[in-house]
Amino acid sequence: MIGVHADEPRYLVAIAELPVTCRAAAEDGAAVVVTRGLGPALHGASVAVLVDPGAVEDLDDPAGRAVIVDRARLRADVAADAGAHPGAVLLSAHCVTTAAEMRDVVRDAVGWLRTLGGEVLGLDEAHATPQGIVALLRSGERAATLAVTVLADGDAAARPRLRALAVGADRVEVLVDGLGAAAVSVSTEAGTTLLPARREARERLALRRAIDALPGHPAPDLRDLRHDDRIAAAILSSYQSSLSPA
């Protein structure tokens, strides 16, 4: 049975829900450690579960361990359901966020464009005002767009939410609501299908993926997170410029 160290109550519940594969353990004896930061303080853990990461430039893992990233608006199982659509000719995303949460939300919107397009992204240009941003990107040879609407921090509707779309022979749409619940629909010439909702708690999903990573199967989570954050930072630099006095 695999030892997992976690301090957060929701992860302790997830450990209890996986009694055949894992057990709660002290940090210095755990193969999997749930954390909000990386570094040598994780002792001898083979896998780190990184929860809702903040500033990616501060992340470093000198031990080279596997890292599973638990992102509230970009769950691995929903991303697998939506799949990559290299045949799509149109990729777009729109997110709504407050300025305080903008970097995390834009990063996740970029992540959905990467997921649906199946390729890394490049930023061509971004135009911003204090109320929002429009960014023009590339996914391989295809164009992609990202629109950001900025809400006032005190707005009653200020929960972050996003929509991502891939259109080609089929149309795939992802909607993530203000609570982080995601819905995926696929439209073909035969009609529109709403894929079954994923009901598993995100914490349990992250632990299962961490356990699967133990035999030496590297996960792309940290690489993808850094990619998404780099593009998001470039987009948001234009927004910061729009706030500066002329």
What average pLDDT does the segment 72-76 reach? 94
SS (H, E, C) 131-148: CEEEEEEEECCEEEEEEE
Cα–Cα distance measured from residue 49 to residue 226, given in angstroms and rounded to the nearest whole number: 15
pLDDT at residue 62 above 60? Answer: no
Residue 245's pLDDT band, with cuts at 50, 70 and 90, is low
Give the angle subtended at the CA of 163 by the CAs of 202 and 77, to the nearest 5°.
30
Cα–Cα distance measured from residue 221 to residue 20, given in angstroms and rounded to the nearest whole number: 25
pLDDT tens by residue, 83-136:
888 789 999 999 999 988 999 999 999 999 999 999 999 999 999 998 999 999
What average pLDDT does the segment 190-218 reach? 92
Q: What is the pLDDT of residue 39?
A: 65
pLDDT tens by residue, 140-166:
889 999 999 998 876 666 789 999 999
What rounded mean pLDDT belongs to the chain? 90
The Cα-based distances of 28 to 15, 159, 208 in angstroms read 17, 38, 21
Residue 45's pLDDT band, with cuts at 50, 70 and 90, is confident
Cβ density class 76-101: b for 16+ within 10 Å, e for less: bebbebbebbeebeebbbbbbbbeee
Give percent of the chain above pLDDT 90: 67
Architecture of domain 76-198+232-243: 2-Layer Sandwich (3.30)
Residue 71 sits at φ, ψ, to 5 deg, of -110, 120
Strand 171-176 to 182-188 pairing: antiparallel
CA dihedral 5→199→78→235, nearest 10 degrees, is -70
Give percent of the chain above pLDDT 70: 91
CA-based nearest residue to 121, from 132, 113, 129, 130: 113
Q: Higher model confidence: residue 25 or residue 216?
A: 25
Domain ranges of the chain: 2-72+201-219, 76-198+232-243
pLDDT at residue 224 above 60? Answer: yes
Residue 188 β-bridge partners: 191
What average pLDDT does the segment 2-19 reach? 95
Helix, strand, coil percentages for the chain (3-state, nearest 5): 30, 35, 35
pLDDT at residue 237 above 70? Answer: yes
Residue 206 sits at φ, ψ, to 5 deg, of -60, -40
> How remote is the C-alpha of 161 from its chain's centroid?
13
